[in-house]
Amino acid sequence: MRPYRVLLFIASVMACLAALCVVLPGRISFGSHDLRWPTLAEVLTSPQPSPQGRESYDTDSIENTDSTDSTENIESTEVRDTIASPVIPKVSVDSVTDSRMFLAAFYASLAESSERVVRVVHYGDSQIEEDRMSQQIREKLQALYGGKGVGLVPLAQTIPTLSVRQELRMNGRFTAPAQGPRRYLVYGPKHDQRTDGLYGVMGQVAVMNDSLVKGSEEITAIVTPLIPTARYSHWRVFADTSVHYTFAGDTVQLSGRGAVYGLSQQSETGVIVDNIPMRGCLGLVFEKIDSAQLSTFYRRENVKLIIMQYGGNAIPFNKNPGTISGIVKGLRDQVRYLQACAPEASILFIGPSDMLTQEEGEWTTYPMVPYMDRLLRKMALEENIAYFSLYRWMGGAGSMLKWQEIGLAGSDGVHFTRAGARKAGNAVVEWILSPTY
Amino acid sequence: MDFITHILAFNSESPLLFTQFYFWAFFALVFSLFALIMSGKSADGKSRLHLRNVYLLFVSWFFYYKTSGLFLLILAFVTLSDWIIAKNLSPALPSREGGKASPRSKRDFSLLTLSVVIDLGLLAYFKYAYFFTNMVNDLFGTGFQVFDIFAYIGNGFAEAGRFSVDTIVLPVGISFYIFQVISYTADVYRGRIQPVKNILDFGFYVSFFPQLVAGPIVRAEEFIPQLYKPYRLSRRVFGVAVFWILNGLAKKIIMSDYLAVNLIDRVFDNPLLFSGFENLFALFAYSLQVYADFSGYTDIAIGVAMLMGFYLPMNFNSPYKSQSPQEFWRRWHMSLGRWLKTYLYIPLGGNRKIGFGTYFWLSLIAFVSAALTGWWWQILVPFGVFMTGVFVWDKWISQKASVERRKLLYANLNSFITQVLGGLWHGASWNFIIWGGINGIGMIVEKIWRGMNWHVRMVCISLLCGGLWLAVYYTNLPAWRLFAVWTSIIWVGTTVRYVYHLCKGSDNRITNGLSTAWAVIQTFTFITFTRLFFRSSSNLDPATANEVAWATAKNMVNQIGGAWSNAIIPDFLWEYRWVVAMFVAGMVIHWLPTNWKRRYRLAFSAMPLWLMVIAVCIAIVVIYQFVTADMQPFIYFQF
């Protein structure tokens, strides 16, 4: 073939494709499926290296600061996609005029940390798995107000964490957590749930000798903190009275039959921060947990701050604002429920981060993220709880792409990397504490 | 205007990629002028061919500039240096067929050494600076940081701070074109080819844009003669070229990118979010992805080059049809395999001998492994005993051994070194070295296994299997459990074949087919598990690559061996049905008989042109649906 015939072929293909660009309206729907084809303008426009909103993104806000917006006006629910000021203000607690004013009870309790434990419970979805974010909150609070120990861990840890190495032995044999005692999860699938609501404060419970056939198994949990300074030789075991236990060093021996709600290696004073991740959870499960159990724990363990970090799991599956607002309404109910269970504790709600999806082959922020962030913030302020907008702190729409580029977020456009989680955790704790400096 | 600017200006965020419209617009423009040059009655004349070569050289340089900016200077430098060195080698008689090349002077040897030092020095600087710095820091507790000398020099010419001196950026394609220039100088030295007289022709060979960024690695003796041949493109070859391009695009976008975005990346990023089954599926899918990605790219390169009348060597030959790791490496990235065999394995001694090179590299590998793991005596003592044994055997006993036995030992040692260094070529991270090492060990074990009789095989696999289950019983570590399950599967297969062998069953079509399928599946599984280390090291900041890569590999093994959940399998298969369908379709197509593939390729190439235009448009529309497909949302199956 002569070269001009090859050229003619190439030109014909391009002409046909260009004609399709003119003829097709961008997308044609066939039932639930779309046939997509770009318009000529889309083809000829130089591709933008960033998704929507990226132009307004300030790189320095990620790379040079761990602090966050401190100027949010509690009267205003307007969403701003840029960070107003990266500087941590030096203000006293009394003069806080943003939603941190609702943390006053927690701030006040820090004064008693030298005499007793002040507990912070950090609930969240997969974004806080592996002790992500909680670790930074714990480290900072313990550095300032004392306290040792990594807080609550489940008897059988199915998800390794960055803070502890955990092993399980049943009758002396190493056992994989999934093959350990029967677990029930308030946020799990139906067959993993129980009807009596007795999940304990972690929303999960391991039942020893659940099966009559199995007989009596002895369980040894070895929980070794990976951060030497976090180690403390005292244990709290939250379990039914029918479960007997002894502990020495990093090892807890348990026997008997009954529920184990969690183990906590902790000091007797200072701040203890519990990391309680609930994979795939929308955060609408607290009402399913027995209120007496929660109240008792919160009161006895002197829980002064409850952090709820949810919303992300609602985003990928819901394109309808009505559904999102229904979920936020559900979250409001959970907040009220926890307020009733822990009337003396402050509550901080952390909204979802920026989250990306692909549309027409381009990474872009899920449309519902800013909407949910706005609704959550409004809900928080109306319920007198503090609100931290991860989404706005990151820089708003498209900021997750920048986080990906600099290794702070994973390629799924949803989860932080460990470095990203560290950054976000530091930002949250700085934001919480800055009025106290 | 925006469109034109985008085509002409360098933008590090949007290089010219085969999968983007801008590359094809660029190619259409390039081909227009190419067609003009190659038209007319004197198109086959020498001057016209020279003009074509010069034109394509500048086009290739522009392509590289678009991809890598000022790193074009590095490409130009190695082109110039190797051209000058090869030109200054004294003329050599071509080597006799199958015999030794004519002897070379010390001056020639020094020139060859100089060329290799320059080329590998540049490669080491750009690709391995972080690796070597980290290694020195780990070994001696120092705190050295990399320093980009080229950026420093560049800042002397440009405004201060124009280039960052704190980071060394890897120029795109440097691993490929460095190997090409080494092969050229080495071939001239060996007398296999004559030096190229015209530097522009040589530059064209080094920089030819379809294969510049990701291969195939073209050897001078294969490509340079094509520079002087007139343009010939039969109707059939044209059709095949178009087919390769479409095939490559489909592989890259449908098989590779779709699987990566919707499952593989998210699992490898965060293995703990997924159950053991999901991790295992993602690992197998990654095997397909990496093949589709790489081979897709080279398919396009081969097709594009063919349209311009140049023939690039085949780079992949359905590698997952391999029945052994050794065969796999003959089918996978064939141009690299040939390069390593010619310029590393054979110079080391091949299966003929072991010499200083073999001892040196093995000792270095053992020393560095011991230093970095901290297992000094655990590694160096057995290694010392082994190497002493090898030395004694080679010097004093081997004469009494059979030729086959000698060959087996030499080939195993030299191929192990080749695999480890080949691993290092893929990336500057320990995981790549581990990956290369596992491949090397796999090849050796498989060769030894084939040499065993059935009784010994049965005893060995039974002992291994029993040992692993004992390890599971006493430690319950996920890694042991994983190996134990896999070994048990091999044990079952071996037992069936052993019993069949004892019953003196005869080979027939069915048993041969089953035997082939068994070998293919085992090889595919083995290669897939080596990918655990290959994928984990990709696309990472060199400073953190080792740590992250190791954590990812460990977490994946822990999940596969410790958090397996049969209950979620049906849910996963349903919710990820499109991803699963793509994977299954990809593997089925891959495993189709070669004849079938050849038939549909030829059928496509024989289409009338007007029908081919329609077929190409339909294929592109279909491929575009995958580019713009909605993302598979996150679904958690394990809590």
**Hey, are the CB atoms on A279 and B636 less than 8 Å from each other?**
yes
The rounded distance, in Å, linking the Cα atoms of B157 and B373 is 44
Q: Residue A69: pLDDT band by 50, 70, 90 thresholds?
A: very low
Q: Where is B444: in which H helix or E strand? A: helix B430-451
pLDDT given for residue A72 in this prediction: 43
Contact B351, B411 (CB under 8 A): yes
Residues 6+ apart with CB under 8 A from B360: none
**Is it the case that residue A57 has pLDDT exceeding 60?**
no
pLDDT given for residue A85 in this prediction: 33
Of the candidates B50, B333, B426, B590, the residue annotated as catalytic is B426
Q: Phi and psi (nearest 5°) for B315?
A: -115, -25
Q: pTM, whole model, 2 decimals?
A: 0.82
Closest CA to A152 of A285, A297, A258, A286: A297
Can you point out the beta strands (E) in B50-197? none
Q: Which residues pair with A208 in a beta bridge?
A: A258
pLDDT given for residue A344 in this prediction: 94
**Hey, are the CB atoms on A13 and B613 less than 8 Å from each other?**
yes
The size of the A-B interface in CB pairs under 8 A is 147
Give how far Cα B510 sits from Cα of B377, B489, B497, B516, Å: 50, 20, 13, 10
Residues B96-140 have pLDDT tens digits of 555 555 667 788 889 999 999 999 999 988 888 887 887 787 777
**Hey, are the CB atoms on A410 and B266 less than 8 Å from each other?**
yes
Q: Phi and psi (nearest 5°) for A263?
A: -120, 145
The rounded distance, in Å, linking the Cα atoms of B357 and B359 is 6
> Which chain A residue lies closest to B636 (C-alpha atoms)?
A280
More confident residue, A77 or B437: B437
B270 and chain A: CB distance < 8 Å anywhere?
Answer: yes
- Which of A12, A129, A317 has its CB closest to that of B272? A129
- Taking phi over 0 as left and psi of -120 to 50 as alpha, with beta for the rest, B318 belongs to left
Residues B221-254 have pLDDT tens digits of 888 889 888 888 899 999 999 999 999 999 999 8
Q: Where is A117: in which H helix or E strand? A: strand A117-124
Q: Residue A82: pLDDT band by 50, 70, 90 thresholds?
A: very low
Contact A205, A263 (CB under 8 A): no
More confident residue, B323 or B565: B323
**Hey, are the CB atoms on A412 and B636 less than 8 Å from each other?**
no
Interface test with B, best of A412, A414, A415 (most B CBs within 10 A): A412
**Is it the case that residue A230 has pLDDT exceeding 70?**
no
Q: What is the ipTM of this complex?
A: 0.82
Q: Which residues pair with A166 in a beta bridge?
A: A223
**Hey, are the CB atoms on B613 and A16 less than 8 Å from each other?**
yes
B 218-257 → A contacts, CB under 8 A: 231, 233-235, 238, 242
CA distance A63 to chain B (A): 16
- Which of B541, B630, B639 has its CB closest to that of A279? B639
B137 and chain A: CB distance < 8 Å anywhere?
Answer: no
Residues 6+ apart with CB under 8 A from B389: none
Helix axes B542-562, B106-140, angle to 10 degrees: 70
Q: Which residues pair with A235 in a beta bridge?
A: A265
Q: Domain boundaries in chain B?
A: 2-231
More confident residue, A72 or B194: B194
CA distance A398 to chain B (A): 16
**Domains of chain A with bracketed CATH:** 3-44 (no CATH), 56-147+269-437 (3.40.50.1110), 148-266 (no CATH)
Peptide bond into B216 cis (omega under 30): yes
- Which of A17, A175, A279 has its CB closest to that of B617? A17
pLDDT given for residue B534 in this prediction: 80
Closest CA to A294 of A268, A274, A266, A313: A274
Give how far Cα A122 sits from Cα of A131, A349, B556, B596, Å: 10, 10, 27, 59
- List chain A residues with CB under 8 Å of B307: 6
Residues B199-209 have pLDDT tens digits of 998 999 999 98
**Hey, are the CB atoms on A46 and B3 less than 8 Å from each other?**
yes
Which letter, b or e, does each residue of B365-383 get, where b requires 16 or more Cβ atoms within 10 Å of its Cβ? bbeebbbeeeeeeebbeeb
CA distance A102 to chain B (A): 33
**Hey, are the CB atoms on B38 and A3 less than 8 Å from each other?**
yes
The rounded distance, in Å, linking the Cα atoms of A396 and A83 is 8
**Hey, are the CB atoms on A360 and B628 less than 8 Å from each other?**
yes
pLDDT given for residue A50 in this prediction: 42
Residues B504-517 have pLDDT tens digits of 767 778 888 888 99
- Amino acid B114 reads L
Residues A297-337 have pLDDT tens digits of 999 999 999 999 999 999 988 888 899 999 999 999 999 99
Residues B622-636 have pLDDT tens digits of 998 888 666 666 566
Residue B333 falls in the annotated catalytic set:
no
pLDDT given for residue A62 in this prediction: 35
**Is it the case that residue A54 has pLDDT exceeding 60?**
no
Mean pLDDT of chain B: 86
- Which of A313, A361, A410 has its CB closest to that of B628? A361
- Which of B270, B478, B616 has its CB closest to that of A176? B478
The rounded distance, in Å, linking the Cα atoms of A54 and A400 is 10
